[in-house]
Amino acid sequence: MHFGPELITLGILLIVAYALGRLGKMVGLPTIPIYMIVGLLASPHTGWFPLNFENHYIELIAVFGLIMLLFNLGLEFDQDEFFGNAGKLLISGGSYIVLNMGAGLLFGFMVGWGPREALVIAGMTATSSSAIVTKLLIELKRLPNRETPMILGVTVVEDIFIAIYLAIVSVVLSGETDIGPILMKLGIAFTFLVIMFSVARWGGKFVGRIFRTKDDELFTILFFGLAVMFGGIGEVLGVTDAIGAFLIGLVLGATRYRNKIEHIALPLRDVFGAFFFLNFGLAMDVGAFPSVLLPVVIAIVMTIILNVAAGQFVARINGLGVQAGINAAVILQNRGEFALILATLSVGAGLDERITPFAGLYVLVMSIIGPLLAANSEKIGARIIRKKPEKQRRERDPMLDEEIALMEAATSGLSTSHTDETAEAVERLIDVKDNGSDTPRSKDDD
């Protein structure tokens, strides 16, 4: 088989992605919307690119991208942080998820595309993009900020939620209607989750023994092979390849080789992830955008409002101020890879075709708005919480003070009734000076 023309086209697309990515970095944009835009430009549905390129050429590489995205998500999960501060993290992250998921589910039913579609839409609008959140914290130099542990805590709880949610969604998307098979699939999914979480928690030392090699090439082949294999196991068990990759990442993240794996896996995630987002852009049809424009606009407004409210609530729980809540809201509101993963799963399950353009346009807009708002959150906060300057007390004229002192001295030996009259005279004198008028205020004006 000869793939010369396809390789040339793909190479050109990646170079275009690089050029646009450099431009995007200048204004603080992440790479996710850039790759999607490049895929959209080359999509056979648009005809905007002079070279023809079908997405089936890179579908398998895109699957590797999905696997590596979720593998790294599990790898970065901080078990010590979670179990060491589980109570506050569950309250913070749980309240954030409940608020966004509840509103997202109501919105999904309001859209009217179906109950399964509603569940998928809720997941898309409820969870942040861990990749964008992490990059923003680093690039905006917010790691030392007081709210950063809170933000990372919310993403940790989101990771657990994603694992459980995907296990449920995979069963729902299977199309089963009989209670017996549904319960069996749910049982398999949760058994898989429990086993892998248990291995990650208590079996890290034993798993780490298989990585005792100084050869980086073999080391890389081993963890990449495990990621792909467990992705396949997850697919076979009916809990999706994404959740299988996430769980093996969770297990390997508990070994003493975590940092080395992460160091090698990040470039692989970036390369294969680029193919995933590029492939998603290739599958999008601009002609379908008008049919989902209104739901997307409503979803964007809803996401921003809910995140502002959730950010302030979570900040207050953690004893932080309004500015910290604003910083958390604009960073956590970014949506990205998980929404696109759900859309990909939906296509395979035969859900409403509008899910794909909805997810694509929603993520495209949110991943552009989010970083721009995050970069300016300090300025936004300064404008919102800025206190109105207190009305300065007018300094009294020194001549007025002298006149009052002379009047009080002249009447110091008078009776009480005369003293009251003196006080009234002083008040009238002050009014005359303050009002700039020679006419004193009468008693009736009081």
Domains of the chain with bracketed CATH:
58-283+290-385 (1.20.1530.20), 398-445 (no CATH)
More confident residue, 3 or 335: 335
Which pLDDT belongs to residue 115?
A: 92
Whether the predicted pLDDT of 276 surpasses 80: yes
Most confident among 32-36, 94-98, 216-220, 286-290 (mean pLDDT)? 216-220
Average pLDDT (285-311) is 93
Q: Buried (b) or exposed (e) across 63-89, using 16+ Cβ within 10 A?
A: bbbbbbbbbbbbbbbeeeebeeeeeeb
Whether the predicted pLDDT of 280 surpasses 80: yes
Percentage, residues of the chain above pLDDT 70: 85
Q: Collapse the DSSP code of 256 into the 3-class scheme (helix H, G, I; strand E, B; otherwise coil) and give the result.
A: coil
Write out the E strands in 216-317.
none
Alpha-carbon Rg of the chain, whole angstroms? 31
Q: Is 91 exposed, middle or buried (0-12, 13-18, 19+ CB in 10 A)?
A: middle
Q: Which residues contact 92 (CB under 8 A, 6 or more apart)?
A: 150, 153, 154, 157, 314, 317, 318
Instruction: Specify whether the CB–CB gap between 51 and 12 falls below 8 A.
Output: yes
Whether the predicted pLDDT of 402 surpasses 80: no
pLDDT band, very low/low/confident/very high, at 420 (cuts 50, 70, 90): low
Which pLDDT belongs to residue 444?
A: 47
Q: Is 176 exposed, middle or buried (0-12, 13-18, 19+ CB in 10 A)?
A: middle
pTM of model > 0.85: no
pLDDT band, very low/low/confident/very high, at 168 (cuts 50, 70, 90): confident
Most confident among 99-108, 168-177, 189-198 (mean pLDDT)? 99-108
- Worst-scoring range by mean pLDDT, 23-27, 233-237, 426-430? 426-430
83 DSSP 8-state letter: H
Most confident among 321-325, 385-389, 399-403 (mean pLDDT)? 321-325
Whether the predicted pLDDT of 265 surpasses 90: yes
Q: What token pair was written down for 7?
A: 């390789």
Q: Is 344 exposed, middle or buried (0-12, 13-18, 19+ CB in 10 A)?
A: buried
- Worst-scoring range by mean pLDDT, 134-148, 349-363, 419-433? 419-433
Distances (CA, A) of 191 to 135, 195, 440: 33, 6, 88
